[in-house]
């Protein structure tokens, strides 16, 4: 392990001693997360210690990706990286994030494990999903695919704001960075093309995950709590009908397509499974959970969907409910689908533990309809990317950086 873990030309780093660690609040595959207090301002923050023992060649590539994305993509619904600080040891590096009281995985677990509120109301679900889509639309406009959207990576603040976190698996999906690994996205949120081994997927895999999140927020339960890829695909087919060349051209050519035999069940049972959804809500969900990624709805299209314009209208964040901090209240019972337990045994890819909150998981699904996509392309300037930061991490970390254009920020033209 080199002593020069963080390059000397990285922007001047503060010491971690400027923060008082209060207690540990989570642990991801690539780092431990602490709740801490800034000794100068008194502000609460989340400190994520970068774990070096999983990197073969210096600073971990997952942390490089997370840093580059968070420096470039600043948005109200993306967790804010405040700074990077160092400890007394050469390999002691911490990312300082804004502190959030909850992650939605832990929050839903606490709801289902209590005798009180068991799920969000429809107007609250609309508020949360709209904020998620705003974050995802922003990332996709900047040619970034998150690749690990799930409830535990959605933080929730006491002001009702949703924050997407954990960018350790994020990558550019611009045409020059293919192929990509199929070992991404926690199983219950994984798109069918990824399950079938595609290495040429794009941002539409995030939209599949958004659909899984929407379904779970509505019902409080996962659609597809599978323990293997084959079981997950079978659960999709049993609920939504099987995929085929007719509705998904090119499916049969995917690497793993010949390994699975789908049940001969031609019906979509989402209406029966989610009676809480209106016709518009069901249409949006089917549009997100469309087998063919080229016909799957985009984040920008989803934000314009009638589901958000019909009653009950989405709540404003300021009107959203508040809860005792997930990190202060002990669990009072095991939820039927504990996301924390599932994550550590079935996460096929391993994201970094985001700004705050423990790791858990939930659903995945398929089926649907809708019009074709996009792809206007443009190149913008460096945006908020600090040039010193880009120089420091442009090629390090045992596998290359996220934005392979030498710090150039790719921006999709509308």
Q: Are 10 and 388 in contact (CB under 8 A)?
A: yes
Cβ–Cβ contacts within 10 Å for residue 14, how many?
15
> How many whole angstroms separate alpha carbon 206 and alpha carbon 191?
8
Helical H runs in 22-172?
61-72, 104-112, 122-141
Helical H runs in 39-177?
61-72, 104-112, 122-141
Residues belonging to the chain: 414
**Start-to-end Cα distance in the chain:** 45
- Kindly name the residue from 91, 101, 103, 148 that is annotated as catalytic: 148
Quick one: DSSP state of residue 78? B
CA atoms within 13 A on the CB side of 31: 30
List Cβ neighbours of 90 (8 Å cut-off, separation of 6 or more): 1, 3, 4, 5
Is 48 labelled as part of a ligand binding site? yes
Identify the bridge partners of residue 410 per DSSP, sorted by sequence position.
Answer: 379
List Cβ neighbours of 300 (8 Å cut-off, separation of 6 or more): 137, 140, 141, 414
> How many whole angstroms separate alpha carbon 330 and alpha carbon 328?
7
Helical H runs in 113-265?
122-141, 192-195, 204-219, 229-240
Active site residue 148: yes
Report which of 164, 75, 104 is spatially closest to residue 321, judged by C-alpha positions: 104
Quick one: DSSP state of residue 356? S
Q: Which residues are annotated as a binding site?
A: 48
Q: Which residues are annotated as a binding site for ATP?
A: 48
Cite the active site residues.
Answer: 148
């Amino acid at each position: 392990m080199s002593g020069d873990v963080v390059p000397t030309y990285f922007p001047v780093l503060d010491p971690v001693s400027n923060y008082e660690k209060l207690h540990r609040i989570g642990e991801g595959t690539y780092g431990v997360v602490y709740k801490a207090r800034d000794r100068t301002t008194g502000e609460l923050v989340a400190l994520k210690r970068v774990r070096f023992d999983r990197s073969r060649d210096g600073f971990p590539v997952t942390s490089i990706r997370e840093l580059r994305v968070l420096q470039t993509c600043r948005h109200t619904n993306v967790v804010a990286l405040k700074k990077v600080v160092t400890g007394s040891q050469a390999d002691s590096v911490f990312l300082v994030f804004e502190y959030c009281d909850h992650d939605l995985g832990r929050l839903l677990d606490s709801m289902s494990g209590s005798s009180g509120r068991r799920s969000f109301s429809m107007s609250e679900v609309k508020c949360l999903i709209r904020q998620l889509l705003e974050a995802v639309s922003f990332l996709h406009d900047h040619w970034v695919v998150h690749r690990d959207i799930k409830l535990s990576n959605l933080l929730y603040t006491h002001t009702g704001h949703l924050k997407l976190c954990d960018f350790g698996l994020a990558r550019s999906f611009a045409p020059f960075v293919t192929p990509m690994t199929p070992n991404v996205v926690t199983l219950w949120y994984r798109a069918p093309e990824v399950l079938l081994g595609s290495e040429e997927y794009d941002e539409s895999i995030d939209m599949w995950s958004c659909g899984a999140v929407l379904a779970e927020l509505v019902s409080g339960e996962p659609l597809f709590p599978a323990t293997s890829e084959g079981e997950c695909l079978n659960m999709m087919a049993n609920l939504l009908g099987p995929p085929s060349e007719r509705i998904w051209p090119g499916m049969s050519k995917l690497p793993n397509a010949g390994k699975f035999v789908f049940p001969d069940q031609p019906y979509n049972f989402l209406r029966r499974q989610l009676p809480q959804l209106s016709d518009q809500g069901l249409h949006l969900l089917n549009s997100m959970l469309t087998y063919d990624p080229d016909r799957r709805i985009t984040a920008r299209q989803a934000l314009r969907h009638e589901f958000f314009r019909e009653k009950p209208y989405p709540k404003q964040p300021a009107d959203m409910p508040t809860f005792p901090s997930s990190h202060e209240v002990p669990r009072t019972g095991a939820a039927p689908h504990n996301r924390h337990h599932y994550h550590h045994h079935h996460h096929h890819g391993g994201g970094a533990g985001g700004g705050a909150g423990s790791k858990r998981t939930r659903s995945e699904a398929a089926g649907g309809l809708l019009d074709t996509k996009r792809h206007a392309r443009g190149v913008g300037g460096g945006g908020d990317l600090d040039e010193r930061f880009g120089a420091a991490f442009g090629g390090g970390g045992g596998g290359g950086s996220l934005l392979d254009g030498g710090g150039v920020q790719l921006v999709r033209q509308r």
